[in-house]
Amino acid sequence: MNKSTYITKEGMESLQNEVQEIWEERKVVTQAVSDAAAMGDRSENAEYIYGKKKLREIDGRLTYLRRRINTLKVFDQKVDDTRAMFSAYVTFKDQTNREMTLRLVGPDEADIKKQSISIASPIGKSLLNQSVGDAIEVITPAGKKVFTILKVKY
């Protein structure tokens, strides 16, 4: 997957908070593994085996997050309020005049529940660099859609 090197300030804070939370979880799991190991035979000790597996998962996520955070750049550039660029809140309508507002972000922080969409997604790619008033065609899994950009806000 081609990942953007940009992230919003809020997105970076979220990743850093996740690292802190995982470190706290790792301490608890490490203690549980240590306690389970003290019980004796590790080959048939389910708590020990599960704890070791959980530690591998935690360590894998920590490694990924550290590497990813080191490659990301917080986007803080001044941009034109009439163009949909990275970190913009874009309000647009579809053919049925249904309005939607989405924030254009990188793949690391895209979350449709938070109304943020990746610039690598079909809709995100289509909105990127477009201006207020532009009508754009997007091929989605549900078919071809036409969106008209109504407002761009940063």
Closest CA to 25 of 50, 62, 65: 62
Mean pLDDT (the chain) is: 91
Instruction: Please report, for residues 19, 53, 72, 99, the alpha-carbon distance to residue 67 in angstroms, rounded to integers and kept in the order given.
Output: 12, 21, 9, 38
Which value, to the nearest 10 degrees, does the dihedral of the CA atoms of residues 59, 65, 71, 73 take?
-160
pLDDT digits (tens, 9 = 90+) for 28-63: 999 999 998 888 778 788 899 999 999 999 999 999
For 55-87, letters b (16+ CB in 10 Å) and e give beebeeeeeebeeeeeebeebeeeeeeebbbbb
Q: Which CATH class is domain 89-153?
A: alpha beta
Rama region for 66: left / alpha / beta (φ>0; ψ in -120 to 50; rest): alpha
pLDDT digits (tens, 9 = 90+) for 90-113: 999 998 999 999 999 999 999 999
Q: How confident is the model at residue 4 (pLDDT cuts 50, 70, 90)?
A: confident
Q: For the residues 75-102, what does the mean pLDDT come to? A: 89
Rama region for 25: left / alpha / beta (φ>0; ψ in -120 to 50; rest): alpha
**Which residue would you say has higher pLDDT here, 140 or 25?**
25
Instruction: Give the fold, CATH level 3, of 6-74.
Output: Helix Hairpins (1.10.287)
Instruction: For the full predicted model, state whether its pTM sits above 0.85.
Output: no
C-alpha to C-alpha distance for 106 and 143, rounded to whole angstroms: 24
Residue-range domain boundaries for the chain: 6-74, 89-153
Instruction: Please report, for residues 75, 118, 154, the alpha-carbon distance to residue 108 in angstroms, rounded to integers and kept in the order given.
Output: 13, 8, 19
**How many alpha carbons lie under 13 Å from residue 150 in its C-beta half-sphere?**
13
Closest CA to 91 of 76, 101, 83, 78: 101
